[in-house]
Amino acid sequence: MIIPKNPQLTEEEFEIVKKIVSEFGCSVTPIPGETMTVYAIKGDERHELMFNRLEGLPFVLRVDRIQSMYKLMDIKSELSKNHFKIAGKIPGEDLIVIAGHCTIDPKNPNLFFESAHAIKEAGADVLRGGVWKPRTSPHSYQGDSKAIDILIEARERFNIPVITEVMDEEQLEVALASKVDMIQIGARNALNYSLLKKIGELTHFSRIPILLKRGMHMGPIDEFISAAEYIVSHGNPNVVLCPRGTVPAIDGYRNYPDECITPLLKQKTWAPVIVDPSHSVGRAIYVPHAALAAIAYGADGLIIETHIRAREGIGDDPKQAIHPSTLAQIIEDAKTLFYNVKKYQKAYIPQLENVSK
């Protein structure tokens, strides 16, 4: 939809617009109103260049998109019928909980095994463990490839699928060679399009689920969904969106909690949403509140940093990891809430706006 600067386009201006849209297989129709005329674009309007050309015209005020910029992630895409499983569960049917250390300490494998055991007992579905870490300071611990063996050993010992974050192609190849069950793309790489494409390509056959965190500086929600479109369009449709807080932070929290975007995501895309309350609020004492808020907003699951003895941990764990006993309590409360909230989700579909019991 083209909104002109003046009440209507001159004949000459209209001809210029017509010529641009026709190059992209579209047509344009004036819709006269009382005070101004707007111009509807007909046809597939998902052409970035067409929009750029129209927006660059001096007599055009604004161009609004009716269609979303992502074809595959769109709720109306055929992929909305693509149901994949995480730890044997279909997202949306059962609550999915991922928990574990922010960072695995390669010098202390037993600490991770103790946590892994307690986390499995607490009822988590997937075990997380950071092998390579994106740290703000280059002087902080950066991770160690050796830790991947600890993660895989924990999976074998406690019979629980595992997830880890990769930051580049080399790490991705190591993680895939170790047969991790799920890959995390962190907030800092959420807009690393080369990496997103590579992940789509290299997981094309295995189709292991990819958890894409929301970038901390990301703007519109469409930017987040479009980042996932890179993975999907390069071969792996099994993506999960993960809000994890944005900046600027609320004073006292690590980030600006953004679990409230879930209903908006659910209206635009079919992708499951697993929220990370740990990085959002950044302090263990606030995590249970943020976790339950995320479920109240309709998340399909949670990813929570959890540690048996957080004070002995490295990375984020000493400040934001919860104890497995707290995790067990959160899972119990989150499950009740999860099934209660489902009835409101019908309201996402306009014709079912009345909430039924």
In the chain the beta strands, taken as DSSP E runs, fall at 2-4, 27-32, 37-42, 60-63, 96-101, 126-129, 162-165, 182-185, 210-213, 239-242, 274-275, 301-305
Candidates 53-61, 89-97, 114-122, 180-188: pick the segment binding ligand PEP (CB under 6 A): 180-188
In the bound state, the residue with its beta carbon closest to Mn ion is: 102
Q: Is 102 in the site for ligand PEP (CB under 6 A)?
A: yes
Element (DSSP H or E) covering residue 264: helix 262-268
Q: Kind of pairing, strands 301-305 and 239-242? A: unpaired
Min dist CB 313 to ligand PEP, Å, is 12
Residue matched to tokens 């390509």: 201
Single residue of 63, 87, 102, 239 touching Mn ion by CB under 5 A: 102
Single residue of 4, 91, 130, 277 touching ligand PEP by CB under 6 A: 130
* Binding-site partner at residue 101 among ligand PEP, Mn ion, none, CB < 5 to 8 Å by type: none
In Å, what is the CA distance from 256 to each residue of 7, 278, 279, 280?
A: 41, 12, 10, 6
Q: Is 129 in the site for ligand PEP (CB under 6 A)?
A: no
Q: What angle do CA 259, 262, 267 make, to 5 degrees?
A: 165
The terminus-to-terminus CA distance of the chain in angstroms comes to 40
193, 197, 112, 101: which is closest to 154 by C-alpha?
A: 112
Min dist CB 305 to Mn ion, Å, is 6
Single residue of 47, 120, 244, 254 touching ligand PEP by CB under 6 A: 244
Q: Is 254 in the site for ligand PEP (CB under 6 A)?
A: no
Q: Which of residues 153-172 bind ligand PEP (CB under 6 A)?
A: 165
Q: Is 186 in the site for ligand PEP (CB under 6 A)?
A: yes
Min dist CB 315 to Mn ion, Å, is 6
Instruction: For 86, list phi and psi in degrees, rounded to 5.
Output: -120, 120
**Binding residues for ligand PEP, how many (CB under 6 A)?**
12
Note the residues at the interface with ligand PEP (CB under 6 A).
Answer: 102, 130, 134, 165, 186-188, 213, 244, 276, 279, 316
